[in-house]
Amino acid sequence: MPNLGPAISLSAFVPELILSAVGCLVLLLGVAQRESVRRSIPAIAITGIIATIIVIFWRYTNANDVGGGFAFEPLAYFVRLSGLVLGVLLTLAAWAQPRDAERGEFFAMMLFSLTGLLLVAPAANLVLLFVALELVSIPTYVLVTLSRSNLKALEAGTKYFYLGAMSAALMAYGFSFLYGVSGTIAIDAEMASAIQDALAGRSGALPQALAVVGLLTSLAGLLFKVAAVPMHFYIGDVYQGAANAVAGLLGFVPKLAGMIALIKLLALTSVWYNHDEALFWVLWVVAALSMTVGNVLALMQSNVKRMLAYSGIAHSGYMMVALLAGPAAGGGMLGNGIAAILYYSVIYGIANLGAFAILGVLRVRGQACEHVRDIAGLLRREPGLALLMALAMFTLMGLPPTPGFWGKMGLFGSALHVAQHASSGPAGPQATWLTVLVIIGVVNSAIAAAYYLRVAAAVLLHDSDEPAEADQRLEFAGMGAFMCGFLLLVFSFYPNALLNSGTSAALRFEEAPAAITAAAPPPAAESSAR
Amino acid sequence: MGTMHLAAQFSLNALIFLPILAAVVIWALPKHVERMAQQVALWVGMVTLALGAFLWVLGQPQLVGSAETTDTPTLVGETEFAWINAVIHDQQENEVGGVRVRYHVGLDPISSPLMLLTALLVPLSVACSFASIKTRVREYYAWMMALTAGMFGVFAARDLLLFYIFFEFTLVPLYFLIGIWGGSDRRYAANKFFIYTFVGSVITFAGILYLAIRASFLESAGTGLGVIDFDLIKLSSLPLENGLTATEQSLLFLAFFAGFAIKVPFFPLHTWLPLAHTEAPTAGSVLLAGVLLKLGTYGFLRFSLPMVPLGAVQWASVMGALAVAGIIYGALCSWVQRDVKKLVAYSSVSHLGFCMLGMFSLLPFGLSGSVLYMINHGLSTAALFLIVGMIYERYHTRDVNQIGGLARQMPVMAFFLVFFVLSSVGLPGLNGFVSEFTVLFAAFNSTDHLGPSFGTLGATGILLGAIYLLYMTGKVLFGPLKEPANTPDLSAGLTRDLTVREITILTPLAVLCIVLGVAPRLVTDTLDPVLADERVPYSVLNRIRQARDSQIHLVTQTASPTSATRPKSEPLADHVAGPVAVGEVIFGES
């Protein structure tokens, strides 16, 4: 097994290198003398992202470079492409958001965060995974603070930074335990079998305890990134304080990064194969609570930004249903939970960003819209934006045939599929309790319908003496919102391409680890001898 | 066959896509030609009516003359291609997993009369909106057209997931129709309607997913290496022994029940309906009562019964009890309403109770009577809503205490109102009677599930129906003339009595009421064989019989494991020996 073995050619990183180089360029141009240069920064950022997409299409569609602690596989391809497409939308949405003096920093941070996301997927050892995750998060602390000039943004940024630092510390602490248990930092079969042995108590009591502590603390750190219960407390204030485009970014970049890291972490255990019951229950409770708490909190909000923030917790909960199901059942999006998560996080990211982008464009009496009553009667004034808002809400709600429906179908379907599988295998909690989790999820999507409908109703049905109107200076943000809507429509009626690339990205996880396949016929044999 | 089949395919797909196209066109019309929206919508409605009639005729073997010779019945206008195709192949190109959702549409004798009903009600409901809709005209007709597409899609779908998508899609346009153009309490009504139905249908969705995944496991002998698809025929012919267990079927039935029963609406889940009906614009009420409520009953018949027959058999008595409760409760509620529209809305609760009572008798003529009931209720209740709307446009009230003696003012309206009230209460010779009689007859005869007590209690619904409808008619039409001040309001180009346009709207419904009253066999002759076809293993009654057999099998196994002989289910053999036509039940063997 190559540990840090063969060097990997630098050419494997060309997309990431372009992106970070453009980030540095943008950072420098931010202090340029001439205003016209400073004004062109968003255009440069978006050109950089589009250039990266072109480079990926040109050279890296079938990249399979492994080495140096990275593994560029279909998963990396999926994340690269979806991350960059969302990056284009994010740049459009944030076009006129930062003040002149901070434009360079703002877009540089955005590009760095995207670079981090692109590196999370290929990271194949614990150190690089940690570094990539922090490369995602640290720029977002800056983004939240920079995005608006009021005290709330400062408060949000501070809160986000301290809690984020704590979660990073927890994660690093947990990763070090995992290293201690397995004796390797490479996330590979060797580490997996060591951790599985330790968790099953085959290596003695101390490694077992260390592995449990290591897993739980790193899990806690990652739950912060995806904003799942019990690490969700920051989300309402942070989303409310941040500018709309940044809140849209927070719903996608850290969430997808965190989900991928969670997938990598769980792939080290055997929770997907009806073992490690304790871990199963921890995740089960986290998923059930995330869905329920998120939806109940969102139901109580009348501020749209806070509502979307809390509903983000619920969406993490839905994804955790499929995370718990895992890839074991195989067979595409209604069986491989990982494929479903990848699909869903992209769709959620687009719909969430679309909703925030529309909020960002709207003004009531010159003020930004936040409250449900601010956007009442939008259909009369801005029919296009109103319909887009409705489309975003229906997607988040999961109404067929919006792509949110296909996503929910994948998440819940894979859980049911795994439950079916488990019912014919060895006894474990999966067979019954995954089905129960799906029922909790379905009931929660019904609860969610109530508050999403409140927004849709305000926009489309209600009248207002002073309806919100689009700020004409924010034409690019409006364009971003329309592109989100366009993508949602495309994925409604033609979800095949995204589904299939999600499926092939998740294919790697379908092979059961050696310890499971070896241990399956004779139960609990000492088959994992080195 | 060739060209006809192509024409049928074209027509059926046009029924679904033409209204969508029309919706886009109408929405995009420039402001100064706003009035054209009405014309476009009406013409599209007429075209769908023509296409619908054409498709219906094609489904009538005695008219077309092509007797069925093959064992698998053909569907009119069948079109099929894979829509969502995320299938995994192994090295030998075998399909080992993934999911496939088909765009698969086609009409059979269960769906084609309901399709024709929809095709008839759409142009009528467009025409009835001409005078009443004056704000946001383009949007209104665009949503109407979108709703039309959804309704046709539901009846044509042959893939469970495609059905579900159309089923859910109908929510959105109706939500807007009620929420924007409804009465004073419209937003509350629209939200209640949406959330109520959405809650039910997400539970149904979980059931659909479970069923499809379970089916792929059964098909691949437990390995799970099968494609998950939602094909209607495949899901309706799952083995009942060593297949879905009785508990599973029972739970799945409840999951389906959640979505369909809210739509019907079944007795304790009906509370959204009166509100939605009262607040909806007339056209919304017409389509809601005429077509959308049938999505629930159609769902039960098309999906619940053949897919989880054991569940249906287990729950049939409970369903019957709820249906009877709905009949009586709805009737009593109607009796005390002062708002005519609310009265008709509650009468729908009562009438759909009859429909479900017939269905859960699980007898051949009960099922076909139930389908007939769907159509008859669609005709007469839609007509009643239309008339109520016409009165409201003139008097701006629907309160029976404020209007009265209108027969002298509006003799033509009075004629139609009396006519449709009589059809609704089941006057022999008109359509309501045949279906009402059949479902009650079935309830009496269904000794396994329902029985005479259900029939007797259900029959009181007829009595109560006569009381509340005739009482309302008497107050509105006869007695001293009562009109609110400053009415009738004839500003919208109306006349004191019905205009030619309004008479044109009501006449086809009246004609059909007579036609179906005299010749119910137009529907049932093609319907009965399909419901009970011996050659088709997935026909509803075959599935019910299989379920009963397997249930008896289970009982005997647990009671006396040694006895190898399996008792023949004698009474059942009688019931399903041959299709019993509704006409034969009523008019005897001719």
CA angle, corner B579, sides to B576 and B584, nearest 5? Answer: 125
Nearest CA in chain A to B214: A420
Higher pLDDT, residue A490 or A275: A490
Return the C-alpha torsion angle A200, A204, A210, A212, nearest 10.
20
Query: Closest Cα to residue A466, out of A364, A384, A383?
Result: A364
From chain B, the residues in CB contact with A416 under 8 A are 206, 209-210, 213
Mutation for testing the B interface, residue in A447, A461, A498 having most B CBs under 10 Å: A461
List the Cα angle B205/B207/B211 in 5-degree steps: 120
pLDDT tens-digit series, residues B228-258: 888 888 888 888 777 788 888 899 999 999 9
Contacts of A399 in chain B (CB under 8 A): 168, 171-172, 198
ipTM: 0.89
Q: Which of A111-120, B532-541, B578-587 has the highest mean pLDDT?
A: A111-120
Residue B182: closest CA among chain A residues belongs to which residue? Answer: A461
Conformation bin of residue B239: beta by default, left when phi > 0, alpha when psi is -120 to 50: beta
CA distance B344 to chain A (A): 26
Task: List the one residue out of B417, B326, B423, B440 whose CA is nearest residue B375.
Answer: B423
Q: What is the pLDDT of residue B150?
A: 93
pLDDT above 50 (res B561): no
Percent of chain B with pLDDT over 70: 90
Q: Which residues of B touch A462 (CB under 8 A)?
A: 187
pLDDT of residue B221: 73
pLDDT, tens only, B340-378: 999 999 999 999 999 999 999 988 888 989 999 999 999
CA distance A258 to B250: 40
What whole-number distance in Å separates Cα of residue B275 and Cα of residue B197? Answer: 14
- Alpha carbons within 13 angstroms on the beta-carbon side of residue A185 total 15
The 10s digit of each residue's pLDDT in B129-159 is: 888 888 888 889 999 999 999 999 999 999 9
Residue-level pLDDT at B165: 93
The whole-angstrom distance between A442's CA and the closest CA on chain B is 6
- Computed over every residue of chain A, the mean pLDDT equals 87
For residues B417 and B404, give the distance between their C-alpha atoms in angstroms, rounded to a whole number. 13
List the one residue out of B288, B264, B94, B87 whose CA is nearest residue B175.
B288
Compute the nearest-CA separation of A481 from chain B (Å).
20
B394 band by pLDDT with thresholds 50, 70 and 90: confident
Considering only the beta carbons, identify the residue of A412, A421, A496 that sits closest to B85. A496
Phi, psi torsion values for A64, nearest 5 degrees: -145, 60
**Inter-chain CB proximity A399 and B168 less than 8 Å:** yes
- Considering only residues 128 to 167 of chain B, which have any Cβ-Cβ distance to chain A shorter than 8 Å? 164-165
Instruction: State whether residue A440 sits within 8 Å of chain B by CB.
Output: no
Inter-chain residue contact A446 with B169, CB threshold 8 Å:
no
Helix B431-445 and helix B452-477, axial crossing angle in degrees, nearest 10: 160
Distance (Å, whole) CA B161 – CA A408? 13
Contact flag B205-A442 (C-beta cutoff 8 Å): yes
Q: A284 to chain B, minimum CA–CA distance in Å?
A: 19
Residue by residue, DSSP assigns B366-400 as: HHHHHHHHHHHHHHHHHHHHHHHHHHHHHHS--BT
Reply yes or no on whether the pLDDT at B225 is more than 90.
no
d(CA A57, CA A63): 10
Residue B64 banded pLDDT, cuts 50, 70, 90: low
Please tell me the distance in Å from B379's CA to the nearest CA on chain A. Answer: 30
Burial B99-122 (b: 16+ CB within 10 A, else e): bbbbbbbbbbbbbbbbbbbbbbbb
- Chain B residues with CB-CB distance to A439 below 8 A: 206
